[in-house]
Amino acid sequence: MNEPQREPVPGGAEPRLLVFLHVPLKQRAFQGQLQAALPGVSVSAVGRPADFERGLEDRPDAVLTLPIVLAAHHLAATLQGLHKGAADEPYVLAGVDAAPDPARVVTVGVIDSLGRDGMAAFVTNLLGAHPKIERVTKVEDLLPLLQLQRVEAIVLPARLLEEVAAPSRLSLVARPLAPKVGLPAVASLGGGGGPIVQAVRRLPGSVTGELGVNEWR
């Protein structure tokens, strides 16, 4: 088998990619998967908004994250992920045994991409209401919020519902939410950003599937 071709980088240094996405994989495994699929790129994956902000201070050549995160940091997407031609995906509000009413739910669990204030605005936009929010930093931490009855419902991408529900006997019932949320995108920030963008375009389906993406534009 031929070894993947490395992208040329000015000065011979590996371009650095900062990744801030939440997937069912453990963070270290996710970083390793991306690193293996992006030879010649130094990949750093983080799971908390504060870690992403610190990573930005180190001036990476590119970042891979959600468009809402890029917008919060005044960054523009260079490469947008798509699924079946769409640049965004549906989210759901899921509860135990019955679909929650977005207008009446009092407490909601959500994966934290934007910090306290940012997530409050994000949830309000999705639900059209202002519930109390419990933030977690891992996909796997959503289910315990319901099991321990810390929240009435959880907000998540529709594609992750089955994965979240699988470890439990709880019957999760979801209500589709009208607003959609942008799929992962890449912002080129430095001299090595171009090679990273080209490398991301060639990611195999086994990796892009974890991101909810099947092509890039």
- Terminal-residue alpha carbon distance, the chain: 28
Per CATH, 10-85+183-216 and 89-179 having the same topology is answered: yes
Single-letter code of the amino acid located at 119: M
What percent of the chain lies above the pLDDT cut of 90? 94
pLDDT digits (tens, 9 = 90+) for 13-26: 899 999 999 999 99
Q: Name the H helices within the chain.
A: 27-37, 49-57, 67-72, 115-127, 142-147, 161-165, 193-201, 205-211
Other beta carbons within 10 Å of 188? 20
pLDDT digits (tens, 9 = 90+) for 44-72: 999 999 999 999 999 999 999 999 999 99
What fold characterizes domain 89-179?
A: D-Maltodextrin-Binding Protein; domain 2 (3.40.190)
SS3 category, 183: coil
CATH 3.40.190: does it fit domain 10-85+183-216? yes
